[in-house]
A and B are shown apart, each in its own frame.
Chain A
Amino acid sequence: MEFLRPVSLGEALEMKAARPEAVPIAGGTDVMVELNFDHRRPAALLDLTRVAELAEWSRDDSVVTFGAALPYTRLINELGTDLPGLAIASRTVGSPQIRNRGTVGGNLGAASPAGDTHPVLLASDAVVEVASARGTRSIPASEFYLGVKRNALEPDELITSIRLPKATGPQQFAKVGTRNAMVIAVCSFAISLHPNESRAGAAIGSAAPTPRRVRQAEDFLTEVLDWESPQALPDSAKRRFGELVASAAEPIDDVRGSAAYRKHALAVLARRALGWAWDAYREGERSCA
């Protein structure tokens, strides 16, 4: 096995072009488990932790762009205010030690249906920036997940950064698991309110072959939410929203939970998360008025 240590993005892309079979390693929190247990014996590892560009971030008035190899702990501390939904999801990943190393780029690279950042990226209209020696591409999160642990990357491509709008309204993420730390989601749900566009984004995780947006449920919110003079939402609307979210799921029975439980739990998570987000929006509007 070879260990490739690029120190710039250009060098990393050249190495990946020459050795497309090289496995990128950022935080290593997925890759090293596979190596330690002999589940994978790649011909080469491509270490991304020395590529400074991949751990930087920038922002302007409306958009935040952060490097694929920025660890969760830094994301939470440095970008949590602009990206509250992603910060909430990041705080639920593993443990402090895992968050000190793990990255959103790694979450995307692994493309597990249970990855915690995916629902937030979908609900918040994130774009995944990828690059190869051939050039760059911008892939909307909604086109990035192709199947169980399959994503839209070509063999010579690396994820360079994730770009998403600064939150313009409340965002929530919720997941079900057996404890508060170190839990792979049984199912998860994210909602981002976009008051500037009078709509909300919502997505589910660990409840279908890929993380997915729940468009029907989003459309329902467009119908029922009054952004100008926000009223308390009737329970019936929250429940209907929960049902629509659950109906978009195609979960499986596995050791973590049954399909029926996942659907039920998703409806509950969605109803609650909508309530939290909408109440926060109403609160914000009232204090602005």
Chain B
Amino acid sequence: MRVNITVNGEARQVDDVWPGESLLYVLRERLGLPGSKNACEQGECGSCTVYMDGTPVCACLVAAGQAEGREVRTVEGLASGDTLDRVQQAFVDAGAVQCGFCTPGLVVAAHDLLTRTPQPSDPEIREALAGNLCRCTGYEKILDAVRMAARS
């Protein structure tokens, strides 16, 4: 089937989509946007987090057809040109990235938090990132990065 999605501001048309495949598959395999990661395909790790119509969702749990006509914003759509978004910059500056697999999802989740709650408390940060797993950093640097982004 054919699916039309606006991805990072650009209207995209995708053909030969299998109706049971996920938005994550469409983004990575059909549109060449490998930023959103595929780590569990069951909603547990959050590494596939993208905005859909402004709401963070696990792209692995959205059926491709459900994204028809929707606006999707992936981690690739956060920076403006060569200038990183403040959340991305803070992850770099705080050393919140090790293997980097969880980073795109965490960046989108943190970006959403700071959009809704510009000065989050620590419990608010933890709650907002509860759906994102990191196997490397132990989270401390990630929390630092979000605090840093909130200040910048």
Contact = CB atoms under 8 A, between A and B. Distances in A.
B43 to A, nearest CB: 6
B13 interface: no
Given A29-B61, A45-B63, A96-B128, 9 more contacts: A5-B65, A31-B63, A32-B62, A33-B43, A35-B63, A95-B46, A96-B131, A97-B43, A97-B58
A1 B63 contact: no
Select the residue from A5, A27, A28 with max chain B CB neighbours within 10 A.
A28
Contacts of B130: 95-96, 180-182
Interface string B7-22: 0000000000011101
B93 interface: no
Interface string A18-54: 0000000101110111011100010001010100000
A138 interface: no
Contact of B63 (A32, A37, A94, A95): A32
B42 A3 contact: no
B98 interface: no
A19 to B, nearest CB: 13
27 contacts: A1-B20, A3-B63, A5-B65, A25-B63, A27-B61, A28-B62, A29-B58, A32-B43, A32-B61, A33-B61, A36-B22, A36-B41, A36-B42, A37-B42, A41-B20, A45-B63, A47-B66, A94-B131, A95-B46, A95-B131, A96-B130, A97-B43, A97-B57, A98-B43, A100-B56, A181-B131, A182-B130
A101 interface: yes
A97 B65 contact: no
B127 interface: yes
A9 B15 CA distance: 28
Nearest to A98: B43
B49 interface: yes
Given A36-B41, A95-B46, A101-B58, A1 B18 contact: yes
A132 B128 CA distance: 38
A230 B99 CA distance: 58
Interface in A48-75: 49, 73
Nearest to B130: A181
Interface of A: 1-3, 5, 25, 27-29, 31-33, 35-37, 41, 45, 47, 49, 73, 94-98, 100-101, 180-182
A184 to B, nearest CB: 11
Given A98-B58, A100-B57, A45 B43 contact: no
A73 B116 CA distance: 14
B61 A182 contact: no
Contact of B19 (A33, A45, A49, A100): A45
B5 interface: no
A28 B66 contact: yes
A7 to B, nearest CB: 11
Interface residues on B, range: 20 to 34
A167 to B, nearest CB: 24
Interface in B104-133: 109, 127-128, 130-132
A5 B4 CA distance: 14
B55 interface: yes
A232 B56 CA distance: 44
Interface of B: 1, 18-20, 22, 41-44, 46, 49, 55-58, 60-63, 65-66, 68, 109, 127-128, 130-132
Nearest to A31: B63
Contacts of B20: 1, 35, 41, 45
B41 to A, nearest CB: 4
A149 B61 CA distance: 20
A31 B109 CA distance: 23
A129 to B, nearest CB: 23
Contacts of A182: 44, 130-131
Contact of A32 (B55, B60, B132): B60
Nearest to B65: A3
B65 A47 contact: yes
Contacts of A36: 22, 41-42, 60
